[in-house]
Amino acid sequence: MSSLRPYEIGVPEKSLDLLKKKLSLASSFPDELEEAGWDLGAPLADVKRLTAYWDDGFDWRMQEKRLNDELPQYTTDVTVDGFGSLEIHLVHQRSDIKGAIPLLFVHGWPGSFLEVSKIISLLTKPEDGTSPAFNVVAPSLPNFGFSEGPKKRGFGIKQYAEVCHKVMIQLGYHEYVTQGGDFGFSITRALGILYPSACRGSHINMVAANPPSWIKHPLLSLQHAVIPYSDRDRKGIARMQWFQKEGRGYNVEQSTKPQTVGYGISDSPVGLLAWIYEKLHDWTDDYPWTDDEILTWISIYWFSRAGPAATTRIYYEVAHDPSKFREEVRKYVANVPLGLAYFPKELYVVPKIWGRTLGPVLYESDNDSGGHFAAWERPEIIVDDLRKMFGKKGGAYDVIKGRNGYGDLEA
């Protein structure tokens, strides 16, 4: 607790000047085939428009001020076993409600702490006494945002989970619940495995589950065998097949040669823009991105403390972990109550029977729209899910004794 320090984003002027210089010199765009579409990658016209606006029109200082005004931010020092001390950036907003539930929000790639901004006030300040209140914590993962990155190899899911857990402990939250998607899925699952007495419930919006096996899940396997797939299931499987065939090129590169791709996204703001913008389009459900949203999102990567290339290393470390811990997080975790949110344009849209192989599922929502960045695209659904799951009528009500989310306003 003593190492917690207030923090405000303040990108040095020389970093802004260098970005502007690079953008003003951008001229060697690739050509584009006739009738090119998103299936070939980020469209040339879009990338040119965004590059021009990033150079002349987009106001980073305004976005920086907005983030500083809206999000209470801090840094703290976390010692990671085998990796020394890292300075971690985090958002932390306490509710005025006594007994608010500590909620750890974990982002992934290409996300950031920014994703919590649409849900944080709704969770900390419920409109009436019928919904639980939360104390929300959203760290920038090491190598992301304004957190420091490790200097040694081998920093994988266990280490990311260790950082998140120790942040919560420093804040005085010895028990907490979690929400996450993308790598937030893996990290919050790891918290339930590694720190079962602390992680008291998890809500996830990327349900990366496997089909049930007869040995481990005989009842679910029987249901899987006799219940035909619904239209929703078939569409979900088609979405996953599309992603495996057409959408995972970035994953292969970042899982095998992150240093190589790092040169392009670290030296060229246009390269970084195209690399991430493609995902913002392909992984969402016709979300109406504004240019300011896109460039704020990508600017956080460009100005990140460890640099854009560092954010890709998590893929390599997860893929090359000799303990194969990434397989463990997809197994049944018995001690953590689980809530699952399904969105049709997520990258994993599994049948619900698959999702139930992950643990004791106490809450499910099956949504008719939304994609990978659920807290950004459909914040009201994430908020509603958490309220229902941990509220008085929810299956995970009162999972943290003395912190059920209800109480009198503090003086």
pLDDT in single tens digits along all 411 residues of the chain: 458 999 999 999 999 999 999 999 998 999 999 999 999 999 999 999 999 999 999 999 999 999 999 999 999 999 999 999 999 999 999 999 999 999 999 999 999 999 999 999 999 999 888 999 999 999 999 999 999 999 999 999 999 999 999 999 999 999 999 999 999 999 999 999 999 999 999 999 999 999 999 999 999 999 999 999 999 999 999 999 999 999 999 999 999 999 999 999 999 999 999 999 999 999 999 999 999 999 999 999 999 999 999 999 999 999 999 999 999 999 999 999 999 999 999 999 999 999 999 999 999 999 999 999 999 999 999 999 999 999 999 999 999 999 999 985 443
Which residues, at least 6 apart from 108, have a Cβ–Cβ distance to it below 8 Å? 180, 181, 182, 183, 184, 185, 206
pLDDT at 411 (0 to 100) = 32
What would the 3-class secondary structure string for 160-222 be?
A: HHHHHHHHHHHCCCCCEEEEECCHHHHHHHHHHHHCCCCEEEEEECCCCCCCCCCCCCHHHHH
pTM: 0.96
Nearest partner of 202 among 102, 393, 339, 394, judged by Cα: 339
> CA-to-CA distance for 2 and 295, rounded, in angstroms?
35
N- to C-terminal Cα separation, the chain: 23
Cβ neighbours of residue 261 closer than 8 Å, sequence gap 6 or more: 253, 254, 275, 309, 312
- Are 107 and 144 in contact, with CB atoms under 8 Å apart? yes
Question: Quick one: pLDDT at residue 128?
Answer: 82
Q: Residues 314, 315, 319, CA angle at the centre, nearest 5°?
A: 115
Phi-psi region of 385 (alpha: psi -120 to 50; beta: other; left: phi over 0): alpha
Rounded alpha-carbon distances, angstroms, from residue 402 to 176, 248, 258, 387, 406:
12, 44, 45, 17, 10
Which residues of 244-370 form beta strands (DSSP E)?
A: 338-342, 361-366
Q: Which of 145, 114, 73 is nearest to 307 (CA)?
A: 145
The CA angle 248-208-260, to the nearest 5 degrees, is 30
**Spatial separation of the C-alpha atoms in residues 24 and 53, rounded to whole Å:** 10
